[in-house]
Chain A
Amino acid sequence: DAGVIQSPRHEVTEMGQEVTLRCKPISGHNSLFWYRQTMMRGLELLIYFNNNVPIDDSGMPEDRFSAKMPNASFSTLKIQPSEPRDSAVYFCASTPSGGGYEQYFGPGTRLTVT
């Protein structure tokens, strides 16, 4: 069982550049979550997909952020243009179902925007 896979593990980019983070959920899981973790704000839910459909994107900070899930085994989180305040660790998680079940987290992508 490979678990949730995220890439890259580390990303350093300059302000204004486009950043794309990638996630492969656990096979058979039909719900996927993107989180952001910072010292100041802790863990924040950015967006939730169920069966590849975005259900709740109310946590997406602003229009610079977008997420897609073209199929059951792949999702992307894109930031364009990136800003220094986007520096954080971004986690992807998946679960067999959206309600009340444990979420399985990936190792995270540490993003640094200079």
Chain B
Amino acid sequence: AQSVTQLDSHVSVSEGTPVLLRCNYSSSYSPSLFWYVQHPNKGLQLLLKYTSAATLVKGINGFEAEFKKSETSFHLTKPSAHMSDAAEYFCVVSEQSGTYKYIFGTGTRLKVLA
């Protein structure tokens, strides 16, 4: 069975400093992995996805994530935080074998300090 663990419920960074949001997954199959962002009172927006191509995935707004099978991790990073990055971030796993179900992490709330 799949599962996903977001290791931090809250992360605070200063504007201009790097962002690291951690995600570990468990999957019996080759997974598809996603990061979504949710700004206050908004829907979820896809940041990036991994589907067994390149292990380093680049997304929108300068975010990227690296799939590490040996560590079962899919951490989200950004070199320099911007105030507009303040939001909630969800790591998601979906079986690549064709299962439609998303397994959501519990979310990490990112706070960016001026």
Main SS of the interface on chain B?
Answer: loop
User: In whole angstroms, how far apart are the Cα atoms of A74 and B112 in the complex?
Assistant: 39
User: In whole angstroms, how far apart are the Cα atoms of A104 and B101 in the complex?
Assistant: 14
Q: Specify which of A4, A42, A55, A101 is in contact with B106 (CB 8 Å cutoff).
A: A42
Q: How many residues of A contact B (CB 8 A)?
A: 25
| Chain B, 92-107, CB within 8 A of any chain A CB | 94-102, 104, 106-107
Q: How many residues of B contact A (CB 8 A)?
A: 24
B-to-A contact residues, CB < 8 Å: 32, 34, 36, 41-46, 49, 51, 90, 94-102, 104, 106-107
A-to-B contact residues, CB < 8 Å: 4, 31, 33, 42-43, 45, 48, 50, 55-56, 91, 93, 95, 98-108, 110
Can you spell out 26 A-B residue pairs with CB atoms less than 8 angstroms apart?
A31-B100, A42-B104, A43-B90, A43-B104, A45-B102, A91-B44, A98-B98, A98-B100, A99-B97, A99-B98, A99-B99, A99-B100, A100-B32, A100-B51, A100-B94, A100-B96, A100-B97, A100-B98, A101-B32, A102-B46, A103-B102, A104-B46, A106-B43, A107-B43, A108-B42, A110-B41
Q: Across the A-B interface, give the 10 residue pairs with the lowest CB-CB distance, nearest first.
A: A99-B98, A98-B100, A105-B43, A105-B44, A107-B43, A100-B32, A43-B104, A100-B96, A102-B46, A108-B43
